[in-house]
Amino acid sequence: MNGNFDVIVVGGGHAGCEAAAAAARLGAATALLTHKRATIGEMSCNPAIGGLGKGHLVREIDALDGVMGRVADAAGIQFRLLNRSKGPAVRGPRAQADRKLYREAMQAALAAQPDLEIVEGAATALIIENGAVSGIKISDGRELRAKAVVLTTGTFLNGLIHIGEKQIPAGRVGEAPALGLSGQLAAAGLQLGRLKTGTPARLDGKTINWSILEEQKGDDPPVPFSFLTTRITTPQIACFITSTTARTHEIIAANIGRSPLYSGQISGTGPRYCPSIEDKIHRFKDKTSHQIFLEPEGLDDDTVYPNGISTSLPEDVQEAFIHSMPGLEQVRIIRPGYAIEYDYVDPRELGHDLQVKKLPGLYLAGQINGTTGYEEAGAQGLLAGINAARSAGGSGPALFDRADGYLGVMVDDLVMRGVSEPYRMFTSRAEYRLALRADNADQRLTPKGIALGVVGPARAKAFAARMEAIAAARNVARESLMTSSALAKLGVRVNQDGRSRNAMELIAMPDVGLERVEQLWPALAALPSFAKEALEADALYSGYMDRQEAEIAALRKDEGIAIPTGLDYFAIPSLSMELRQKLSRAQPGTLAQAARVEGMTPAGLACLLGHIKKPRAKQVA
């Protein structure tokens, strides 16, 4: 190690791994700095990847040749496509992962990545020279230099674990927090805040009475995450479902005052969509039972993750309420659940490239930006890694807008609106939801990834082959014709107007659909499943896509109009005072971003546009 890099990534979690891999794929000499090599790719909370909105993000990471999708395919032990009965735009791939296999696959992927070096050590301080970040100091006294630094500290930034009345400074159970960095960020003028998240106890599967519990099997065959994975080969397991009882609710209600959430001991804001069990019971008093999913953490690991009982109650209360649930009467608790508070940086301190505006050369990704979730972290890591490498190489930023993908939606939400709770992706956040599908993530992003140089030749080749297959499938579908009378004979209800229908029209009919159409034309049934999915989306969304594409075109036009940084909104007389203040705070980078500022009017945009296009000389005068 010579101590000089293009890019240093601090943190070996999901953001850090993607950031380091992406920077190295772009050819930047990259270091990944982590406390312990062995915990790279650790799943600190739920051993699962994907879901609704989140699965979209994994596909987008994969489309840009990121690692998460392939690693999850190697480690997945139960795959389920959520919303299978709904249309392709809102289907979300999800998988339970074997935590050890996930770690191993991630570590192997990074080891195989050229230009990437793993460095063990704890970051103690940023090296800041002339107002820009140029490296990292490590606890052993070494200094690593780089042209760009990516911080992905997760919950480690002033991390504080709460278990009942007990408080332990830590980034994860048994791992020291990062203490110096937040002070340095605050000193540089960055707005910091505090958030909270939680995790449930872990249970010993050998002591669970599985026989009385309802089983939940995965999909057969499993649907992989990566566009490059053809088949899942890891053995698949089942999950089981238990539920809280009246006794559980009694125990928790009686002890709620001992939860640091209710005693006032925790100041950080927790996520509304991932409440602790004490929150759920307190807030929804008329609900007498909650489902709890028992998810095995691995094939050769007896640890079980009880999904749905995240808690920070004291250990004795956890013991008591867990034992009150069917199947868990005799269970041994391996380690208690806890809540963790940590510092985050107000993401409005960042540009759309995830670079800190006040500290050039510094990029932030993951929970440090106020998000939650491996997928949100991974996607940001990828973007930060790409931009850190580009900036190290002297190139301008690579940006993704709200029509490019969920990645663009997330980043725009973060940097323009900030967060009030840990930010999680939902499909409802995407205004172009029908266009931003998990199945077409590659069509949306891989060409851009190829142009940026972040997509390798293997994927580029596979992508081209996929596109050919989809084009061929479209031809087959258009040429698959049947007259109305022939359809009627086969039991398909259509208007008897003598007109022939093609397969696309029939797929779009709610009471026909893809499956029935496959029965009518064996040639369609024989198509690869991704091609069928593309046909289904084309058929179902045809009328809506035209409008969405027109909206996207208008958005792109306004995204193309840059607003100079530091524009004085108070010098635009025709904007209302309220808008001047809002725009000043938001500092939009483009006209499209300005349009998304709350309360913005078309008239206001016209003024703003006028002001931007005003000749420089006049502005000085």
Partner 1 sequence: MTAALPTTIFALSSGQGRAGVAVLRVSGPQAGKVVEILAAPIPKPRKAALRKIRHPNGEIIDEGLVLWFPAPGSATGEDLAEFHVHGAPAVVRLLIEVLSAQEGLRLAEPGEFSRRAFANGKLDLVEVEGLADLLNAQGEAQRRLAMRQFLGEASAVYERWRGDVITALGLHEAAIDFSDEDDVAAKALEAARPVIGGLVAELRNALEKSSQNAAIRSGLRLVIAGPPNAGKSSLLNALAGREAAIVSPIAGTTRDVVEAQIMFEGLPLTLADTAGLREGSGDVIEQMGMARAQSEARDADILIWVSAPDAAEKVGPPRKPDLLVENKADLDSIRSRNDSALLVSTKTGFGLNRLREVLKNLIHVKLAGAEDAIVVRQRHVLAVEESIRLLNKCLGESGRAAELVAEDLRGAARALGSITGHVDVEDLLGKIFSEFCIGK
- Binding residues (CB under 8 A) for partner 1: these are 51-53, 82-83, 86-87, 89-90, 271-275, 280, 283-284, 287, 290-293, 307-308, 310, 426-429, 431, 433-434, 510-511, 540-541, 544, 546, 549-550, 552-554, 572-576, 598, 601-607, 609-611, 613-614
**Least distance CB 410 / partner 1 (angstroms):** 12
Residue 97 or 386: which CB sits closer to partner 1? Answer: 97
**Residue 170 DSSP SS3:** coil
Residue 126 or 506: which CB sits closer to partner 1? Answer: 506
Short-list 262, 263, 283, CA closest to 272? 283
**Least distance CB 121 / partner 1 (angstroms):** 36
Residue 427 or 590: which CB sits closer to partner 1? Answer: 427
Q: How far apart are CA 509 and CA 24, in angstroms?
A: 47
**Least distance CB 464 / partner 1 (angstroms):** 18
Residue 351 or 418: which CB sits closer to partner 1? Answer: 418
Residue with tokens 């793993």, as numbered in its chain: 118
**Least distance CB 532 / partner 1 (angstroms):** 16
Q: Which two tokens stand for residue 178?
A: 């990062």
Q: Which two tokens stand for residue 537?
A: 């989306």
Three-state secondary structure along 520-535? HCHHHHCCCHHHHHHH
Query: Is residue 5 within a helix (H) or strand (E), and if so which, with residue range?
Result: strand 4-10
- The contacts of residue 549 (CB under 8 Å, 6+ apart) are 435
DSSP assignment of 505-571:
HHHHSTTTHHHHHHHH-HHHHTS-HHHHHHHHHHHHHHHHHHHHHHHHHHHHHHHTSBPPTT--GGG
**Least distance CB 604 / partner 1 (angstroms):** 7
Residue 210 neighbours by CB distance under 10 Å: 13
**Residue 56 DSSP SS3:** helix
**Least distance CB 572 / partner 1 (angstroms):** 8
Residue 144 or 514: which CB sits closer to partner 1? Answer: 514
Residue 35 or 54: which CB sits closer to partner 1? Answer: 54
**Alpha-helical segments (H) within 371-528:** 374-392, 406-417, 441-452, 457-479, 484-489, 503-508, 513-520, 522-525
Residue 386 or 410: which CB sits closer to partner 1? Answer: 410
Residue 147 or 433: which CB sits closer to partner 1? Answer: 433
Q: How far apart are CA 523 and CA 531, in angstroms?
A: 12
Residue 172 or 402: which CB sits closer to partner 1? Answer: 402
Residue with tokens 């939801």, as numbered in its chain: 433
Is the omega angle on the peptide bond into residue 221 within 30 degrees of 0, that is, cis? Answer: yes
Q: How far apart are CA 187 and CA 185, in angstroms?
A: 5
**Cα dihedral 259, 264, 265, 268 in deg (nearest 10):** 100
Residue 343 or 559: which CB sits closer to partner 1? Answer: 559
- The contacts of residue 383 (CB under 8 Å, 6+ apart) are 353, 354, 365, 398, 400, 407, 411
Residue 451 or 550: which CB sits closer to partner 1? Answer: 550
Short-list 228, 36, 226, 6, CA closest to 116? 6
**Least distance CB 87 / partner 1 (angstroms):** 4
Residue 283 or 478: which CB sits closer to partner 1? Answer: 283
Short-list 10, 346, 368, CA closest to 189? 346
**Least distance CB 5 / partner 1 (angstroms):** 39
Strands 4-10 and 143-151 come out as: parallel
Residue 365 or 435: which CB sits closer to partner 1? Answer: 435
With beta carbons less than 8 A apart as the criterion, state whether 104 and 261 touch: no
Residue 167 or 303: which CB sits closer to partner 1? Answer: 303
Q: How far apart are CA 57 and CA 438, in angstroms?
A: 8
**Least distance CB 506 / partner 1 (angstroms):** 14
**Least distance CB 413 / partner 1 (angstroms):** 9
With beta carbons less than 8 A apart as the criterion, state whether 79 and 48 touch: no
**Least distance CB 281 / partner 1 (angstroms):** 9
**Least distance CB 307 / partner 1 (angstroms):** 5
Question: How far from the centroid of its chain's Cα atoms is residue 359's Cα?
Answer: 25
Sign of CA dihedral 486, 487, 488, 490: positive
**Least distance CB 609 / partner 1 (angstroms):** 6
DSSP 3-state helix, strand, coil percentages of the chain (rounded to 5)?
40, 20, 35
Residue with tokens 């735009």, as numbered in its chain: 89
**Least distance CB 602 / partner 1 (angstroms):** 4
